Amino acid sequence: MELIYGKTMTISPEAERSIAAYRHKVFIELLGWDMPVQDGFERDQFDHEDTVYVMARNDSGAVCGCARLLPTTSPYLLSEVFPQLLNGVTPPCSPEVWELSRFATVDFSAQTTNAMSQFSSEICVELLHASIHCAYQHGAKRLITVSPLGIERLLRRMGVHAHRAGPPMTIDGHHIYACWIEIDEITIKALDALSEKTYDFTDMASGRHSIQD
Amino acid sequence: MLEAYQQNSHQVSICTDGYIRLTLAQFEALRFEHLFSGIEYEPSNSLQNECGASTTIFGYTEWISTTSPVVSLGWDWNLHGQNRKAYCVHSGDVRSNVMFVDNHEKDLGLEQTSLLLERWLSSFDWSARVLDTL
């Protein structure tokens, strides 16, 4: 499996298109989410030049996972569309908080793909690990995410330090909630133990870290 | 008496990290209402073709405090039966936005919070309410 990440301008236009097509297959065709689409691609107003993408490709080169990272210093999904999930709190706006969204790890070349399998466990661990490291390199100390409620169980099983920001809500027939993921020793240790890859989080204690795009 | 009054009058507030920090006594003074429950469908396809094979019915349930901000709790359950009566037994962790603190407002941590929530759940009467809603 290959993991690729970068902003819209740094990944190739072909990679961006394959992410949008993959998102259409997962979120529109498989999960039936009601979202704007165009010609088989799923994109929204939060896919712009500052958006950071993380993509996983299987050995055949097909996309088998994707994630989207947005700084909370600009408008993001939770702040603009789902602020009601934050238990009355103002949506975060900090360079140390990034939003993780459009996270999916369906490998369509695997035989067991069904509506329950938005997340393949091995790809899920690797994609989450890479996404957290990528966000960390951009200065994040915490992630906030809007997710289907089932994700919470998955994060707990992995041992990641995650907790809900407020109660779940039922929106368009889906149970969703806002979730905090802490980029701390608990999370890093849990993912290091599960993942085949190792990332450098050595500056975490000093709080010094930033990315060069 | 004074202690009881202080517990019940505790103002629930949310911290910048999203946690609601409470002592166990403050938590135990809260009232919880059922939010929703549902049945999970078995992800495995392995039993589909085995006629007569036993299966497990399991699901999830969500509860909220009557406070604002809201304390949110959720857990999974398995359906059991005894003497022709069905009842739910919780399984796994209680998922929440709570961090328990000691009397000096020091965090008890994830593990201890999880243990205390599970202990609290064992004395909370929730099964009948869940079954009513399914």
Quote the CA–CA distance of A148 and A202 in Å, as a whole number. Answer: 32
Bridge pairing between strands A63-71 and A52-57: antiparallel
Beta bridge partner(s), residue A177: A147
Provide ipTM, 2 decimals.
0.85
Assigned architecture for domain B21-42+55-133: Roll (3.10)
By 3-state DSSP, what share of chain B in percent is helix, strand and coil, each rounded to 5? 25, 35, 40
Does a structural domain hold residue A212? Answer: no
Per DSSP, the three-state class of B58 is strand
Does a structural domain hold residue A213? Answer: no
Residue showing tokens 């009881």: B4
Quote the CA–CA distance of B107 and B23 in Å, as a whole number. Answer: 9
* Chain A CB within 8 Å of residue B118 CB: no
Total domains, chain A = 1
Residues of B in contact with A186 (CB under 8 A): 110
Residue spans per domain, chain B? 21-42+55-133
CATH of the domain at A173: 3.40.630.30
CB A129: neighbour CB atoms within 10 A? 25
Quote the CA–CA distance of A161 and A128 in Å, as a whole number. Answer: 13
pLDDT in tens, chain A (213 residues): 899 999 988 999 999 999 999 999 999 999 888 888 989 999 999 999 999 999 999 999 999 999 999 999 999 999 999 999 999 999 999 999 999 999 999 999 876 555 445 556 889 999 999 999 999 999 999 999 999 998 999 999 999 999 999 999 999 888 999 999 999 999 999 999 999 888 988 766 554 444 444
What token pair was written down for A97?
């908080």
Quote the CA–CA distance of A133 and A128 in Å, as a whole number. Answer: 8
Does a structural domain hold residue A202? Answer: no
Does a structural domain hold residue A65? Answer: yes
Q: B43 CA to chain A: closest CA distance, Å? A: 6
DSSP element (H, E) containing A190:
helix A185-194
Residues of B in contact with A89 (CB under 8 A): 14, 18, 69
